[in-house]
Amino acid sequence: MRKAREVLVIGGNRYFGKRLIARLLAAGDRVTVLNRGSSAAPPGVVHLVADRNDEKSLTAALGARTFDVVVDQVCYTPRQARIARRVFAGRTRRYVLTSTVEVYEYEDSVAPVRESDVDPLSVAVNLELPWDDPEFLENHYGEGKRQAEAVLAADPAFPYTAVRVAHVLGGDDDFTGRMAHYASRIRAGEPIAVPMVNHPATYIHVEEIADFLFWAVGQDFTGPVNAASHGLLTTEELCAEIAAHIPHGRTVFGRVEVGEVSPFAFTRAYGMDNSRATRLGFRFTHTRQWLPKAVAETLGKDGG
């Protein structure tokens, strides 16, 4: 019988984070959830309240606790990563950072990008940037994650992995509104703005990324790892599936040379190579297996 693990999840009370917590509890793990207290923790967990941006607050909330694994769902900046590295050094056997495909924002390749295309050890860290400014952080989301990874990687004794998550789809609790944006325009027959050259991207279903993170908790590999379902999706393919769920929906694309484009419309290649995770033993599904289900979940059977 497998020994129960002590797992700390920082943030993660919604979307795939709450699904990860459910999987950990179902497996018999002892789960602690740490957040600012603005939302209740799910039943069955120990709930700690602290501001993860405040090292003294975080240290006080943790007390003498140690963990087998820490899953950090809400580390967005190098400042937060520096605090986490200091606080959790010696407290955990493994630290799992949920990172993002956005770390590849400066890479543009016809071939899917591999983990080695962004080596955290080669990323410059600037702690003086206005990381506390919400607008700056929103506009530099990928860079914040790049630099957070770099801070963790700088200490070779710190046992971290950075899960670079593809664009997540599915679930009736998708809070992003991105699929709803397409549905509203298709329903109204309004143009969907895409670049003149619109590249496909990698995606993953909300249940699959929860599965992946649960799997990663039990592994011992370190460094970055890409998490994406097999198969790229174009904006056109995504919209075709959405339109199939909307009676009398009409998809119209408007090609733009400059200006804002729709969500999931990309001016550059945005695909991730998932072969490292595959070699390590995770079995991904194909986007075509779950795309109809993802659209139905998010929009409802009548196109929401």
- 148/145 Cα distance (integer angstroms): 5
pLDDT tens column, 208-223:
999 999 999 999 999 9
Predicted local confidence at residue 13, as pLDDT: 82
**How far from the centroid of its chain's Cα atoms is residue 172's Cα?**
17
What confidence tier does 257 reach under pLDDT thresholds 50, 70, 90? confident
What confidence tier does 269 reach under pLDDT thresholds 50, 70, 90? confident
Are 139 and 71 in contact by the 8 Å Cβ rule? The answer is no
Region 230-257 average pLDDT: 91
Q: For residue 255, is it left (φ>0), alpha (ψ between -120 and 50) or beta? A: beta
Q: At what angle do helices 287-299 and 235-244 cross, to 10 degrees?
A: 50
Q: Rounded to 5 degrees, what are φ and ψ at 14?
A: -135, 170
Predicted local confidence at residue 187, as pLDDT: 93
Predicted local confidence at residue 301, as pLDDT: 56
Calculate the average pLDDT of the chain.
93
What confidence tier does 167 reach under pLDDT thresholds 50, 70, 90? very high
Distances (CA, A) of 141 to 17, 133, 154: 19, 12, 20
What confidence tier does 1 reach under pLDDT thresholds 50, 70, 90? low
Helices (H), the chain: 16-26, 55-62, 78-88, 134-139, 141-153, 178-188, 206-217, 235-244, 275-280, 287-299
Predicted local confidence at residue 40, as pLDDT: 81
Two tokens at 38? 């603005």
Question: What residues contact 301, with CB distance under 8 A and at least 6 apart?
Answer: 245
Q: How many CA atoms lie within 13 A of 296 on its CB side?
A: 6
Residue-range domains of the chain with CATH: 6-169+202-230+271-287 (3.40.50.720)
Percent residues over pLDDT 70 in the chain: 97
Q: Which residues pair with 48 in a beta bridge?
A: 34
Mean pLDDT check: name the lowest of 39-43, 55-59, 149-153.
39-43
DSSP state letter for 149: H
Q: How many CA atoms lie within 13 A of 45 on its CB side?
A: 28
What confidence tier does 270 reach under pLDDT thresholds 50, 70, 90? confident
Predicted local confidence at residue 184, as pLDDT: 93
Length of the chain (residues)? 304
Mean pLDDT check: name the lowest of 3-17, 63-77, 151-165, 249-263.
249-263
pTM of the full predicted structure?
0.95
